[in-house]
Homo-oligomer: A and B are copies of this chain.
């Protein structure tokens, strides 16, 4: 264990601001989804991913990767969406273990109905709030952070 390397003033400032963003921005976007449709960001991600998938269907596993969630979480989320009639589950034909989450017509209609409001919220909270340069920077920073995370997970296991 090396001696602790503290953060410089500049680094700490950046971190503090970023933490505030991490705390507040997701809440802003989720508030709209919750108000308009009683959905979570993850719920919306699932419905949205299914709506764009071939056959409007996906394996649970794939769905989990798609929305950056764990498998247990997918089970819970899909169970909830199933109770509301927006998704149904079918056994998989090729793999006896798997489940296939399928978007129902009601679920598709729901996505179509919600999407505009969600996009507007995303615009208001992030996209339109930043300059085009900042948005590009944000994309680059995000990609870098995700790569680093991925590298850490493969490397130091």
Residues of chain A at the chain B interface (Cβ within 8 Å): 4-7, 10-11, 13-15, 17-26, 28, 41, 45, 67-69, 115-116, 119-120, 122-127, 129-130, 134-146, 148-149, 152
Contacts and interface: CB of A to CB of B under 8 A. Distances in A.
A134 B142 contact: no
Contacts of A135: 10-11, 14
Contact of A20 (B14, B19, B146, B152): B146
A76 to B, nearest CB: 16
A73 to B, nearest CB: 11
Q: Tell me whether chain A's interface is mostly helix, strand or loop, or mixed.
A: helix
Contacts of A68: 19-20, 23-24
Q: So how many copies of this chain end up in the complex?
A: 2
Contacts of A145: 21, 25, 125-126, 129-130
30 contacts: A5-B120, A5-B123, A7-B123, A7-B127, A11-B135, A14-B127, A14-B135, A14-B136, A14-B138, A14-B142, A17-B138, A17-B139, A17-B142, A17-B146, A19-B45, A20-B142, A21-B142, A21-B145, A24-B146, A24-B149, A28-B149, A125-B145, A125-B149, A126-B145, A130-B141, A130-B144, A134-B137, A134-B140, A137-B141, A141-B141
